[in-house]
Chain A
Amino acid sequence: MADDREIAEVFQRESGRAVATLVRRFGDIDVAEEAVQEAFVEAIRRWPSRGIPPSPAGWIITTAKNRAIDRLRRESQRDNKQSEAMHLGEHDEREEIEIVEDDQLRLIFTCCHPALAVSAQVALTMKLIAGLGTDEIARAFLVPESTMAQRLVRAKRKIKAANIPYRIPGDAELPNRLKPVLAVIYLVYNEGHVATTGDHLIRHDVSSEAIRLARLLADLMPDEPEVIGLLALMLLTEARRPARTGRDGELVRLPDQDRGLWDRALIAEGQGLVRACLRRNQPGPYQIQAAIAAVHADGRSPEETDWAQIVALYDQLLQFVPTPIVELNRAIAVAERGDVAKALASVEKLGLDGYHLYHATRGDLLERLGRDAEAADAYASAVELTNNQAERRHLRHREARLR
Chain B
Amino acid sequence: MSQYLMSVYYDEADETPSDEVMQEMYADVEALNKKMRDSGVWVFAGGLHTPDTATVVRSQDGEILTTDGPFPEAKEQIGGFWVIEAENLDAALDWASQATIACRGPVEVRPFQDEPEA
Contacts and interface: CB of A to CB of B under 8 A. Distances in A.
A162 B115 CA distance: 11
B98 interface: no
B89 interface: yes
B88 A115 contact: no
Interface residues on A, range: 10 to 19
Contacts of A163: 2, 88-89, 111
Interface in B74-118: 87-90, 93, 109-111, 113
B91 to A, nearest CB: 8
A240 to B, nearest CB: 40
A165 B88 contact: yes
A220 interface: no
A5 B116 CA distance: 48
A394 interface: no
A162 B113 CA distance: 9
Contacts of B90: 164-165, 167, 169, 173
Grouping DSSP codes into helix (H, G, I), strand (E, B) and loop, the A interface class, with mixed when no group exceeds half, is loop
A284 B93 CA distance: 26
Contacts of A169: 90
A1 interface: no
A162 B109 CA distance: 9
B41 to A, nearest CB: 14
Contacts of B2: 162-163
A167 B89 CA distance: 11
Contacts of A400: none
Which residue of A115, A163, A165, A169 has the most chain B CB atoms within 10 A of its CB atom?
A163
A169 B91 CA distance: 11
A161 B111 contact: yes
Interface residues of B, number: 11
A384 to B, nearest CB: 36
Contacts of A115: 89, 93
A187 B93 CA distance: 26
A162 B2 CA distance: 8
Contacts of A162: 2, 4, 89, 109-111
Nearest to A160: B111
A143 to B, nearest CB: 27
Nearest to A173: B90
Which residue of B2, B89, B113 has the most chain A CB atoms within 10 A of its CB atom?
B89
A161 B113 CA distance: 7
Contacts of A161: 111, 113
Interface in B34-88: 87-88
A297 to B, nearest CB: 40
A289 to B, nearest CB: 30
A115 B90 CA distance: 9
A161 B114 CA distance: 9
A164 B91 CA distance: 10
A180 to B, nearest CB: 14
A159 B111 CA distance: 11
Nearest to B94: A173
Contacts of B93: 115
Nearest to B112: A161
A162 B111 CA distance: 5
A113 B89 CA distance: 10
Interface string A163-178: 1110101000100000
Contacts of B89: 113, 115, 162-165
Nearest to B86: A163
Nearest to A115: B89
A269 B24 CA distance: 56
A347 to B, nearest CB: 37
Interface string B1-29: 01010000000000000000000000000
Interface in A114-139: 115
Nearest to B110: A162
Contacts of B110: 162
Which 7 residue pairs across A and B have the least CB separation, nearest first? A165-B88, A163-B2, A162-B111, A163-B88, A164-B89, A162-B89, A161-B111
22 contacts: A113-B89, A115-B89, A115-B93, A161-B111, A162-B2, A162-B4, A162-B89, A162-B110, A163-B2, A163-B88, A163-B89, A163-B111, A164-B88, A164-B89, A164-B90, A165-B87, A165-B88, A165-B89, A167-B88, A167-B90, A169-B90, A173-B90
Given A161-B111, A165-B89, 6 more contacts: A115-B89, A162-B89, A162-B110, A163-B2, A164-B89, A164-B90
Interface of B: 2, 4, 87-90, 93, 109-111, 113
